[in-house]
Structure 1
Amino acid sequence: MRRLLVAVAAVLAVLAPGTPAWAHVQLVSADPAKGATLTAAPKAVTLEFSQRLNADFTTIVVSDAARQRVAATPATVDDNRGTVTFTAALGNGTYTVAYRVVSADGHTVQGSYPFTLADPGLPAAVVAVRTAAAEETGGDSIGLFIGVGAGGLFLAAVAASLYFHGRRRAGNRTSP
């Protein structure tokens, strides 16, 4: 009977659901909210998380549609809230809030979300557009440079291998 109880306890221990793991910090709320369309420019972005934040490792960045950072103060942390305050006026357009935070338990979480400013009193947003000429002379050429360099190194390695392999064969033929 005792063996049966031990067997039943073992089966129940294996089949019982595990205890939940400590959850990582999560974004609970945001102002402006994810996907919001605002008719007045916000003065700041405030993010509230599910756990206390480590102020030394909290980053909040807002960028415009051209992926340029918007002028703002460094993030300030108050318990589980992080805030950046804009130091310049925002124009109409779509903005992205990106965050990287470390909770008090040491877990890092990052994410981003958009919001749109459509203030009828502001002029339309000016979006920087890259032209084909700018792309030919711009930063995208670094990938081409790396690719050509890697291809050249590969061809040099193949040529060296063929050269030394050929010399070895020629040396073997002349041996008595």
Structure 2
Amino acid sequence: MIFILSKRNFISNLLVLFSLIFILLVPQEVFAHATLEKADPAPDSELTESPKEIVLVFDERLEDALYSVKVFNENGERIVNAKPEMSQDQTTIKQPLPDLPDGNYVISYNVISADGHPIRSAYVISVGEETVFQRDINKQVLETQKSSAGATAIKSLVRMLFLWR
């Protein structure tokens, strides 16, 4: 009987080890759900004139009531307060813009995919002359996304293992 328990523990520990190796070695995109397929203006765009709108196209359907697009200037002030419009097929969001003066802008979006998973991200565009601000903020956004995706996967695995025992 002791042999059976220790063998069961060995198999359980082996399963945990393989799960952790899988999580650490497989790219985080495998765990992703709806993703941004196209953005206009695109991330890191250097525009000579102000865009009329922001268009975000996703590869999956989104929840039609749970989405937002926010635009911030270099001072962190929100530029647009109007709610964006979603397409009938629920894959595209359009946010009309006022005339933007020269500067850098952070485009932040928050959506819920049809399968219930939240997707949050941001990117930077530049109108007129680019400054160092654009590259620094984009680097911070990408680092935050990578660390939060890995942490979420590890937390889910730990919860699953505790419930399984």
Cα deviation code 1:102-126 (max 9, x no counterpart): 011111010000000018xxxxxxx
Residue ranges of structure 2 left out of the alignment (5+ in a row):
1-14, 16-29, 130-165
Q: Answer 1 or 2: which has greater helix percent.
A: 2
Root-mean-square deviation (CA), in Å? 2.4
Quote the offset at 1:72 in angstroms: 4.8
Percent identical among aligned pairs is 28
2:78 matches 1:45? no
Contact kept, 8 Å, 2:70 with 2:80, in 1: the verdict is no
Query: Which residue of structure 1 aligns with residue 123 of structure 2?
Result: 113
| Residues 72, 106 of structure 2: 8 Å contact kept | yes
Partner of 1:83: 94
What per-residue deviation string (whole Å, max 9, x for no partner) do you get for residues 54-91 of structure 1? 121111101100010113521111121111101x3210
The structure with higher relative contact order (CA 8 Å, sep 6+) is 2
| Cα distance in 2 between the residues matched to 1:92 and 1:23 | 35
Letter in 1 for 2:108: A
Partner Cα separation in structure 1 for residue 74 and residue 31 of structure 2: 36
CA distance in 2, matches of 1:83, 1:102: 16
Distance in 1 (CA, whole Å) between partners of 2:54 and 2:82 is 11
Verify the 8 A CA contact 1:60 1:99 in the aligned structure 2.
yes
Shift of 1:23: 4.2
Provide the C-alpha distance between the structure 2 equivalents of 1:101 and 1:94, rounded to a whole number of angstroms: 23
Runs of 4+ in 1 over 4 A off after TM superposition: none
1:96 partner letter: V
Unaligned runs of 5+ in 1: 1-13, 15-20, 120-176
Query: In 2, are the aligned partners of 1:95 and 1:116 still within 8 Å (CA)?
Result: yes
Per the alignment, residue 97 of structure 1 pairs with: 107
TM-score norm. by structure 2 comes to 0.56
Q: Name the CA distance, whole Å, in 2 between partners of 1:28 and 1:36.
A: 16
CA contact under 8 A between 1:72 and 1:84: conserved in structure 2? no
The answer to whether the 8 A contact 1:72-1:85 is kept is: no
**Structure 1 equivalent of residue 65 of structure 2:** 56
